[in-house]
Amino acid sequence: MQLPFDPLLVAILAPLAAALALLAPLPDRAAKVVAGLGFLLPALLGLHTWWHFPADLGGADYAFRSLYDTGLRGSFGIALHLGLNGISMPMFMMAGVVGLAAGLYAIQSKAERPRLYLALLLIMQGGLMGVFASIDIFFFYFFHEFALIATFILVGVWGGRDRGYAAMKMTIYLTLGAMLSLLGLIAIYVKSGAETFDLIALREEIAVHGLSGTVQNYAFGLLMFGLGILVSLFPFHTWAPLGYHAAPSSVSMLHAGVLKKFGLYGFVQIALPLLPAGAAAWAPALAWLALGNVVIIGLVAIAQRDLKQMIGYGSVMHVGYGFLGVACVNALGAGGVVLFMVAHGLSVSLLFLLATSVHHRTGTFDMDDMGGLAQKAPVLAAFFLTAILASIGLPGPGLLNFWGELTIFMAIYAHAQWMVVPALLGVVISAIYGLRAMGKVFYGQPSAAFLKHQEKNAVADLRWSERIPALVLLVTLVGFGVWPRAITEPLNKTLAEVYPQVEAVSPTPAAPAVASLPE
């Protein structure tokens, strides 16, 4: 269906326009409606682009393409190119859905200065939609920084315990990662000779003239550490759990669920296709660091007694699987990373939302001071159990996380069979801390602290204002878990066109396509 407007541009501008409108003297009810529309439109447009994504689209082509010349093209080859291919389309859709859930949860929160709080969340949302809609890698980077600035302010002003320290640490680490990433992107721009940041033109130019092995090694190294810091690659991860714990719930949902995918997405969409030889050279180092995420950070997650901190460390642990998929340097691993990013974005956002709902009913994040909450809030318990099982990667239909991790494990097995054992250890670790949290929070004997809390505060189940955003995430997660082919079909077409040069230098033997997964 042809819309009478550009869906990608509107998905970016709608939340920004809503943020601007919130600064006007609107009545409180009208302000909430405006904010809600600002979050709803990107979600609807994200789902629209997924539903109407052309089935016959050529692999390297982009759908919904648009070009808005910034006027800088003559000097630096920069222009606002927007479009979606099989890699970016599911990410664009996921960003809209998570943004809607985070926005709905924020609208009914009791944050101080709620209009400014919602305006900054909308600015963050606009940047997120721009990241995955950009074909020009300058704007890919620009929109990320745009969203990141709003994140720093939200954590520093509206955050909880240690918010000042958390915001400062996030700023230092993420600024360093952003600078290293920028140097890597500039190196590609300068050495390619394309005189443009347009990703399509860069691929075409490099395919014809190539880049030397030395250039690829240096550029990929910069991107590996730069994007790695942004995604919390071990041992540059310490900012993430601290930041997620201090951040308001909606900010944690948007950052851990969507913004942190910037780095992994950059690897799959940009670094691997443009720098395949560099990726192959750095793959062993990246794999070892990724195993640090899976095993070492996983053990740290087991040691946590704070529910939100545990989810934060669990999120950092699981991105190790994404890095392992990248380290396989082939299309199967890259496809698994895309499936993983969509699933992880939905499930970790749901977990952060539910953790705050638990806090509202217990007055604490300390799991030792909980117990027996399932009797008071069975719906909350059911949501939490489903989110935990999805995060673990439980086999079975309806859990998209399983398909993403299975695809990555297939790529790891083809790449280096010995790596499967420590990678699978992460599943065991996830089950230990996830199910233990389920038992401590919802089952067993209520703690004395929780009983005392109940004497002063009535404990009720999830309100509809909490259930609706949780259902938005859960229905999307289960829907694509039942029908993963809705993502893998267009994804495979893009990978088949973009990744031949990657496969040519890959240390991994040829592996089956992502489309070989069950429908």
For position 242, what pLDDT does the model report? 84
Only one residue has tokens 């990608």, namely 8
**Range list of β-strands (E), 221-310:** none
Residues 6+ apart with CB under 8 A from 394: 401, 402
- Asked if residue 60 has pLDDT above 90, the reply is no
Please compute the mean of the pLDDT values over residues 435-459 and round it to a whole number: 83
Q: What's the CA gap between 313 and 51, in Å, rounded?
A: 34
Range in 144-158, 358-372, 386-400, 493-507 with the lowest mean pLDDT: 493-507
Please compute the mean of the pLDDT values over residues 257-265 and round it to a whole number: 92
Range in 86-90, 313-317, 391-395, 506-510 with the lowest mean pLDDT: 506-510
- Asked if residue 454 has pLDDT above 80, the reply is no
pLDDT in tens, 241-253: 888 888 899 999 9
For position 70, what pLDDT does the model report? 60
pLDDT in tens, 405-443: 889 999 998 888 888 899 999 999 999 999 999 988 998
Question: H or E stretch including 99?
Answer: helix 88-107
Instruction: Tell me the percentage of the chain whose pLDDT exceeds 90.
Output: 51
Contact 411, 333 (CB under 8 A): yes
Which of 73 and 140 is assigned the larger pLDDT? 140
Q: What's the CA gap between 188 and 198, in Å, rounded?
A: 11
Q: What's the CA gap between 191 and 162, in Å, rounded?
A: 43
Cβ neighbours, 10 Å, residue 164: 12
pLDDT in tens, 331-377: 889 999 999 999 999 999 999 999 999 988 888 888 888 888 888 88
294 sits in the region (left: phi over 0; alpha: psi -120 to 50; else beta) called alpha
Q: What's the CA gap between 401 and 339, in Å, rounded?
A: 8
- Asked if residue 77 has pLDDT above 90, the reply is no
- Asked if residue 460 has pLDDT above 90, the reply is no
Please compute the mean of the pLDDT values over residues 273-301 and round it to a whole number: 93
For position 12, what pLDDT does the model report? 95
Confidence of residue 518 (pLDDT cuts 50, 70, 90): very low
Which of 70 and 459 is assigned the larger pLDDT? 459
Separate counts of helices (H) and strands (E) for the chain: 25, 2
- Asked if residue 234 has pLDDT above 60, the reply is yes
Residues pairing with 68 in the sheet: 80
Query: What's the length of the chain?
Result: 519
